[in-house]
Amino acid sequence: MQKWIMSGLFFAACAFAIVLMFALPGKEEVAEEQKPAMPAVQLDAAAAEEVVKATCISCHGDQLQGGMGPSLQQAGAEHDAEAIYSIVTKGRGQMPSFKEQLAPEEIANVAMWLAEKK
């Protein structure tokens, strides 16, 4: 009887693992599709610096050298403006989302400013 239960559990775990294998990449695709669209703005470096000073340096360091969050001194080498826009809008890992705090245009401006840092 117990053996029967164990093999039943094993089978269920395998089935679950197989379902996960197919389900997980699917979820990533959905996340890609829901990437927020970045509004087109004219880069205003002074405004970007102001937003970053007020909002980002507590975690990323006053010279963007990194702190609780990674260094952003070369953010543009890794991410383009749209990718940074998406990270700041939606948050990622330990980084909070800023869509309640900043206007999309402000985030886009900061993203373009950071994307030039390579």
Is residue 87 part of the contact set for ligand HEC (CB under 6 A)? yes
Q: Which two tokens stand for residue 72?
A: 């952003």
Pick from 72, 81, 108, 112: which binds ligand HEC (CB under 6 A)?
72
Cβ 38 to ligand HEC, closest distance in Å? 13
* 14 known ligand binder: no
- Span interacting with ligand HEC, options 18-26, 29-37, 39-47, 62-70, rule CB under 6 A: 62-70
